[in-house]
Amino acid sequence: TKEWEQGELSAGVYTWNKWSDYNVRNILSGYEPSKYSSCIKINTVYAQYQNHIGKFTYRIGVKSTWRTQSYQDLTYNNNYIHPLLYLSYKLKNGSLQLLSSSGTNYPAISTLSENMTIVIPGLMKQGNPNVKATMEWGPIFRYTYNDAMLYLQVALYGIYNDKVITPYYYWTTVNDRRSIVSTYENGNFYWRYGTGYYLQFKPFKNEVLKLMVGGGFEREVISNSYGHHCYWWSPFKYGINFRKGNWGASYQGNIPSKMAVLDYRKADEPKSEFSAFYQKGAWRFSLYGM
C-alpha cells in the first residue's frame, strides 16, 4: 500500500489451493474400493486506487484471477477479470453512493466428486466434475440521510449471474432399484434486483425512544434446464428501543416472507424478541424473552 496526501494505492497477490482425496467403499460400489481426487488452485493479482476531489470520493480497481479445477484426469483452466468502481458524493445531511463490482462463484470442491451417497432410500446425491465457476456482476446505488431525529438508508441494486450453479435431478437404477439422483449443473442465468430500506426515528432527538423499520422488495429470476422461474421476496423487520436513566428495554419482530433458494422456496421464521435491563455503573442486570 502506498499513500499520498490525498490518494492511496494498494496492490497485492494471493493464492490458495484445495485438495480432496476419497477412498470410498460402500453398498453402491459393491463394497469395492473407489478412489476420487479433486483439486482447485486459485492465483489472484489485484490493484486499487482511491482519492477524493471536493465532495467526491472515488475508488477504482481491477482484480485478475487464474483458476485451475481438476478432477481425476479432467482439468479446466479459466481466467477472470473483475473491475471495481465506487463513487460517493457528500450531501448536507447524508451521501449518495454508487458501487459497481463483480466476482466469481466457485463450486465447492465437494460438488466435483462423482462419488454417490445415499440421502434416504430412493434418493442419492452425487457431484458433477463438469460444473464450472460462474461470473457475478451488479451495481448498487445507495442514498443515506442522517440528522438528530432521523436516519434513513435506501438502496437500489441488481445482480446478474451467468451460468448459475443449480441443483439438477434425474432418475437412475441403482442395485435394481429406481432412485432419484440429486446433482449440480450450470443453468442459463440468475438475475436478482430490488430495493432495500432502513429507517430509524428518534422523536425526542435522543436515545430515550427509537423506532426502527427495515425491509425490501426483491425479484429473483432463475433460468435452468427446468425452465424460467420468477419469485418475489419482501422481508420486513421492526423494533423499538427505550432508555431512561438506568433502565432500558427493546422489542424486535418481523413479518416472514418466502424467498427463492435456487430449487426451492424458503420462508423466514417469525421472530419476536424482548429484552429489559437495569444498569448501575459497571453492573447490568438483564432479562430476555423470545
Q: Taking 90 as the threshold, does the pLDDT of residue 174 lie above it? A: no
How far is 150 from 146, CA to CA, in rounded Å?
A: 6
Q: Taking 90 as the threshold, does the pLDDT of residue 12 lie above it? A: yes
202 in a structural domain? yes
- The model's confidence at residue 81, banded by pLDDT at 50, 70 and 90, is very high
| Residue length of the chain | 290
Strands (E), 127-281: 134-146, 150-162, 165-174, 177-186, 189-201, 209-224, 227-233, 236-244, 247-255, 258-261, 264-267, 272-280
- Domains of the chain: total: 1
- What b/e string do you get for 218-254 counting C-beta neighbours within 10 Å, with b at 16 or more? bebebbbeeeeeeeebebbbebebebeeeebebebeb
The residue with greater pLDDT, 274 or 4, is 274
45 in a structural domain? yes
Question: What single DSSP character describes residue 106?
Answer: P
- Predicted pLDDT of residue 105: 87
1 in a structural domain? no
How far is 48 from 12, CA to CA, in rounded Å?
A: 9
C-alpha cell at 193: 434486483
- Predicted pLDDT of residue 93: 93
- Predicted pLDDT of residue 31: 67
184 in a structural domain? yes
* Domain residue limits at 68: 8-289
The stretch 59-74 carries a mean pLDDT of: 88
258 in a structural domain? yes
222 in a structural domain? yes
2 in a structural domain? no
The residue with greater pLDDT, 88 or 121, is 88
Mean pLDDT, all residues of the chain: 88
Is the pTM higher than 0.75? The answer reads yes
Q: Taking 80 as the threshold, does the pLDDT of residue 171 lie above it? A: yes
What CATH number is associated with residue 30?
2.40.170.20
182 in a structural domain? yes
Based on its alpha-carbon atoms, the radius of gyration of the chain, rounded to whole angstroms, reads 25
What contacts 288, CB < 8 A, 6 or more positions away? 273, 274, 275
Strand order in the sheet with 165-174: 116-120, 123-126, 177-186, 165-174
- Predicted pLDDT of residue 283: 92
How far is 185 from 130, CA to CA, in rounded Å?
A: 8
How far is 124 from 264, CA to CA, in rounded Å?
A: 18
